[in-house]
Amino acid sequence: MIINGDSLEVLKTFEPNSIDALVTDPPYGLGNTSPANVTACLQAWISGQDYQASGSGFMSKEWDSWVPSPNLWREVYRVLKPGAHGLVFSGSRTEDLMSISLRLAGFEVRDRLVWLYGSGFPKSHNVSLSIDKRLGYPNRGRAIPTASQYQASDIEQKNKLTSNPVDPYEPTTEQAKKYKGFGTALKPAYEPIILIRKPLNGTIAGNVLTHGVGGLNIDDCRIGTDEQLSYSKSQKIGVTKFKTSQSSQHPNGRWPANILINEEINDPLLKRYFYCAKTSKAEREAGLISNESRANIHPTVKPLDLMRYLCRLITPPQGTILEPFAGSGTTLCAAALEGFEPIGIEREAEYIEIIKARLKHWSGGRYDYTPKTNDKPKVGEQFKLF
């Protein structure tokens, strides 16, 4: 189902202990994370209150001003079955807040997965240019006037410019020359994914038999390899134990690791990790119709192969997957492609039609939300799957 509404309120209508897995790409909270704001946030959370952040986050989006609060995650915790796992994306600089929020809601933090990619763009200030400006020298302008996020000194973008190409910035003042080549940020190349679990009800075996969840689907997420894998085996001869190396290869490949890579890997040492290409425009917009240059307007679309892998890793066969921050619906599409039942909640009404169209396309029409009447759905209304 797809529900247009606020996750905190919508989840209160769900039955407790009813959902098998959580796979979600929530707001990273890339707003003003000053020490004072973080202190105020933690004080609010510990007292059971929500923290009201001011301003906005990624691409000036108000919904990204702060990470979701423990009160939201407590509702997620309530509806998940005992032993159910969750995979929660977060930002590299706000991962600590996301993790604390999840812990305060009652979840166990089991691991961190790291999604590596090579196409991130450094959002950095040129220190020497800023010093020259402060000392009265005019800014030479942007490389692309309409792309305000790109400084004229962004060397990495130089070869991609279609107009007004410029050379790297040369400082003018002596003060600025001292800091030539200095910036304020690193190039982003990874996103953490927090692996959580609602505590077990008893033992692993008992929990799985009772609730159907509690383990990870290792064999279906192994990394294929042609290598002959080896392992150590202890042998006892007399009173002495010896370790011997023997060859073995699981038919599905290597044990899945907590590193995920999105670039083509030719190094044999790196082929043990899951590979996934970043989202292409064709994938983002498949099933959408628009006269605009960009049909899928959501700013943070994850690749389908990555989300399919994550859904498969923690969800039992024919299980239900909750995504309380559906965005443009990638998690829901991935869940449908893997044979799971997707449950998505999205607050922003502008994304609902995008979700419906993408889910219809990627599910081969199984999930078709085309209105059968002239009635328009209301905010908070559930769209039936069948």
CB atoms inside a 10 Å sphere around CB 207: 21
What distance, in Å, lies between the first and last C-alpha atoms of the chain? 9
Name the token pair of 213. 């969840």
Residue 340, helix vs strand vs coil: coil
Cβ-contact 382, 369 below 8 angstroms: no
Unique residue bearing structure tokens 């039936």: 384
pLDDT of 175 reads 95
Q: Which among 351, 349, 340, 334 has a CA at the least distance from the CA of 381?
A: 349
Cβ-contact 44, 51 below 8 angstroms: yes
**CA separation for the pair 225, 269 (Å, rounded):** 11
Instruction: Note down pLDDT in tens along the chain; length 386 residues.
Output: 899 999 999 999 999 999 999 999 999 988 889 999 999 999 999 999 999 888 776 766 777 788 999 999 999 999 999 999 999 999 999 999 999 999 999 999 999 999 988 766 777 888 999 999 999 988 765 544 333 333 333 444 444 445 555 678 889 999 999 999 999 988 888 899 999 999 999 999 999 999 999 999 999 999 877 666 555 455 555 555 545 445 556 777 888 999 888 666 566 666 667 666 666 667 766 767 654 545 665 556 788 989 999 999 999 999 999 999 998 899 999 999 999 999 999 998 888 988 998 899 988 889 888 776 555 555 555 544 43
Cβ-contact 331, 344 below 8 angstroms: yes
Name the token pair of 151. 């400084």
Name the token pair of 160. 């991609």
Query: Strand runs (DSSP E) across 25-124, as ranges?
Result: 80-89, 108-116
